[in-house]
Amino acid sequence: MATRRPEGLTASLLIGPATLVVMLSLVLPLALLARYSLNKYDRRTFMIDAFTPENYLRFVTDPFYTGVLWTTFSIAIVTTLLCLILGFPIAYKLARSQTRWKSIGVLLIILPLFIGSTVRALGWMGVLGRGGIIDAAYGALGGSGISLLYTSFAVGIGILSINLPYMILTLQSVIEGIDARLEEAADSLGADPPRRFWHVVLPLALPGIGTGGILVFILAMNAYATPFLLGGARFQMMAPMLYREFAVNNNWPFAAAIAFILMLTTLSLTAVSGLLVQRRYKAQ
Amino acid sequence: MNTASHLRIEGLTKIYGSAAAVEDVNLDVRQGEMLVLLGPSGCGKTTTLRLVAGFVAATRGRILVEGRDIASLPPYQREMGMVFQSYALFPHLTVAQNVTFGLRMRKLPKAEIDRRLEETLDMVKLTTMADRYPRQLSGGQQQRVALARALAIRPKVLLLDEPLSNLDANLRQSVAREIRQLQRAAGLTALMVTHDQDEAMTMADRLVLMNEGRVQQVGTQEELYEQPLNPFVARFIGHSNLITGELVDADTFRLPGGAVMKLARSYAQRGPHTLALRPERVRLQTEGDVSPPRATARVEDATYVGSHVDYLLSFEDGSSLALHEPTGATGGTRRAMGESVAITWDGLNERLFDADGITVSAMTAPGMTTA
């Protein structure tokens, strides 16, 4: 009689390769980065082995750096909320539509994702910059030249335009999972559209709102090309600043510390919001 | 029962693109009456219900409740209590929150809401389930919550969309009876949709049979069964053999193959007609039968099913006829296959329709004793 291989062994053999890839490509570099962040920076040799918290201390004690983190957080929160407010009606309309316009609508939402964020940021430069579309239109109306480029507004609108499709697609699939009969039931029980939304659609869409919100929040926190191109030198966000420390200043230990601060901030905010959504959902 | 019409539908029409889903439907539902819309799928019965509920906007027509046209009102102002086929209970709310949803939307005082909740849950015997979530209930309990939720708002009209179709077969009868009791006790005017004939027969005060967006016949169970207005009704309610042939004289009906039937009644019309005969209203002619033999056929198949023998007979031209012979009279004997048999029926059980499907009435009616 053939002996059966223990199931645990088969499972670990199957999971093995994937685990190896994750270890090599994610855990190892992170561990290395964590190690770097505790090293010392030196002008000539760039990095000296050490075991010091001074990179982290430098970040949290310098108002410039904490200011950049605060700016990044504000931009991420504002764009996430705007994504939600602007995306929900579109996602709802798409989810409840049953005509052939639906697939056209979905295609229109997906289409911008085919174009890289750098190219789209360049497009916004053409719209917002001096001599751009808005400037020209303003001039034609008799105003003197304006440039909206290199402002938080420009960065916000750039990130918003990039993140909106992700939000809409996430919400659309969640709303499609809400039985339309539930809305009709609310309707027949006397709930007008605002109250139907508040008492039925919103609570049931909450998990999707959480998922979509976390997704675009992470994307906004880590945005690189958009703040780099639309924010310019004066407007600082975490990812471009990290890159400059790493590539321009060659300060790998400090760049590694910034990377960890950004990652931990994003992770903890995500975890907190996830818990809040879960609690609110369970409470119902 | 108050005979005043409580819900009145006039010329109701819904056109999608170029096709009419519902065409010129006219109905009167009396106060406290249960009217059941019956028909095959796609006949327009559900669309009619959704038009009344307000989920679908009518192309034409009026919907009057207590004399007031509500056709242009949004659903949330119509005060219709709807029970959905899938129940559509709010999954994030408890039984109590589901039942009081409509009351909270109406901003009733807390005391009144509590009073009605208790009263309604008591009615559907779910008092102990108030704090459960819908997913923790059985199908039958969910159905009762759906009903309670609709009843709690004291609706002007109760709308039921296939309320029994998601229940186990052995639950259906008791739930059907329960719905009827509650509806009668509350004196509610109700409109129900079903594709199931037995369900319709059990629940209805009166039935509306629909096909292809149009009302085919409105009437009591007896009226639809005994006096179908057209071949569709004859075939859909119960079963009818529909035999096409030609009236060659007052009481001679000739089948395409040349076989001849002697009809029980006499008719003035001539030409192509359809004869409708119910299997249980046709019998094998025996000596001493009050009626003469009306046709001869061959036994193709005979199945003993207990209460009756299920015969499949055929005529010369190949057209067939189902016949149910009660077993009590014959002691359970059945005729052999291939045997030639004489069949007969009484005048009351003979329905004749012309080529347009319109009922043809007899000139004289021997033995007719309609009340």
What pLDDT, in 10s, does the model give residues B84-120? 999 999 999 999 999 999 999 999 999 999 999 999 9
* Number of neighbours of residue B304 by Cβ within 10 angstroms: 13
Q: Indicate which of B47, B70, B105 best probes the interface with A, i.e. most A CBs within 10 Å of its own CB.
A: B105
Interface of B with A (CB under 8 A): 53-55, 74-82, 84, 86, 88-93, 101-102, 105-106, 149-150, 153, 159
pLDDT above 70 for B72: yes
**Which among A179, A184, A189 has CB closest to B105?**
A189
Q: Indicate which of A99, A100, A184, A189 best probes the interface with B, i.e. most B CBs within 10 Å of its own CB.
A: A189
Report the distance separating Cα B182 and Cα B188, nearest Å.
Answer: 9
Phi, psi of B370 (to 5 degrees): -70, 140
pLDDT above 50 for B368: no
**Which among B75, B92, B93 has CB closest to A188?**
B75
Sequence spans of domains, chain A: 53-283
pLDDT above 80 for B1: no
pLDDT of amino acid A14: 87
Q: Would you give the DSSP letter of residue B30?
A: E
Q: 10-residue block means of pLDDT along chain A (284 residues)?
A: 69 86 90 92 87 93 95 96 96 91 91 89 88 84 82 93 95 94 96 96 92 93 92 89 92 94 92 80 53
The verdict on ipTM greater than 0.95 is no
pLDDT of amino acid B329: 67
Sheet holding B295-304, edge to edge: B282-284, B340-345, B295-304, B308-314, B320-326
pLDDT of amino acid A116: 86
**H or E stretch covering B169:** helix B169-186
Sheet holding B60-65, edge to edge: B19-30, B5-16, B60-65, B68-69
List residues bridging with A172 in a β-sheet.
none
Judged by phi (left if over 0) then psi (alpha if -120 to 50, else beta), residue B209 lies in beta
What pLDDT, in 10s, does the model give residues B129-165? 999 999 999 999 999 999 999 999 999 999 999 999 9
How far CA B132 is from CA of B92, B116, B128, in Å, comes to 11, 18, 9
**Which among B91, B153, B159 has CB closest to A189?**
B153
Q: Residue B278, CB half-sphere, CA atoms under 13 Å: how many? A: 17
Compute the C-alpha angle B344/B346/B349, nearest 5°.
110
B106 contacts A190? CB cut-off 8 A: yes
Contact B190, B182 (CB under 8 A): no
For residue B217, with 0-12 CB atoms within 10 Å meaning exposed, 13-18 middle and 19 or more buried, which class applies? buried
Phi, psi of A48 (to 5 degrees): -120, 135
Q: Which residues contact A185 (CB under 8 A, 6 or more apart)?
A: B82, B84, B88, B89, B90, B149
Among candidates B129, B123, B142, which has minimal Cα distance to B96? B129
Among candidates A55, A58, A64, A69, which has minimal Cα distance to A257? A55
Mapping DSSP to helix (H, G, I), strand (E, B) and coil, where does residue B163 land?
coil
Q: Within its chain, how far is the Cα of A157 from the centroid?
A: 14
Q: Are strands B340-345 and B189-194 parallel, antiparallel or unpaired?
A: unpaired
Prediction pTM value: 0.84
Q: What average pLDDT does chain B have?
A: 91
Residues 162-191 of A with CB under 8 A from B: 179, 181-182, 184-191
Report the distance separating Cα B190 and Cα B58, nearest Å.
Answer: 20
What pLDDT, in 10s, does the model give residues B193-218? 999 999 999 999 999 999 999 999 99
Among candidates B324, B255, B335, B328, which has minimal Cα distance to B300? B335
**Closest approach of chain B CAs to the CA of A24, in angstroms?**
43
Contact B72, B78 (CB under 8 A): no
pLDDT of amino acid A284: 45
Detail the DSSP E strand segments found in chain A. Answer: 40-42, 46-48
Tokens of A133: 């579309």
Tokens of A241: 């600043």
pLDDT above 50 for B370: no
**Which among A189, A192, A196 has CB closest to B102?**
A189
pLDDT of amino acid A136: 85
User: For residue B11, what pLDDT band results from cuts at 50, 70 and 90?
Assistant: very high
Q: Which residues contact B229 (CB under 8 A, 6 or more apart)?
A: B216, B217, B358, B359
Report the distance separating Cα A27 and Cα B325, nearest Å.
Answer: 82
Compute the C-alpha angle A56/A59/A65, nearest 5°.
155
Torsion of CA A155, A160, A165, A166, to 10 degrees: 90
Which chain B residues are within 8 Å of A187, Cβ to Cβ?
Answer: 54-55, 74-76
pLDDT of amino acid A170: 94
Report the distance separating Cα B51 and Cα B278, nearest Å.
Answer: 35
Report the distance separating Cα B133 and Cα A177, nearest Å.
Answer: 19
How far CA B226 is from CA of A107, B13, B24, in Å, comes to 58, 29, 25
Q: Residue B318, CB half-sphere, CA atoms under 13 Å: how many? A: 0
Report the distance separating Cα A220 and Cα A73, nearest Å.
Answer: 9
What's the fold here for domain A53-283?
MetI-like fold (1.10.3720)
Query: B34-46 burial by CB neighbour count: b if 16+ within 10 A, else e?
Result: bbbbbbeeebbbb
Q: Residue B180, CB half-sphere, CA atoms under 13 Å: how many? A: 16
pLDDT of amino acid A130: 83
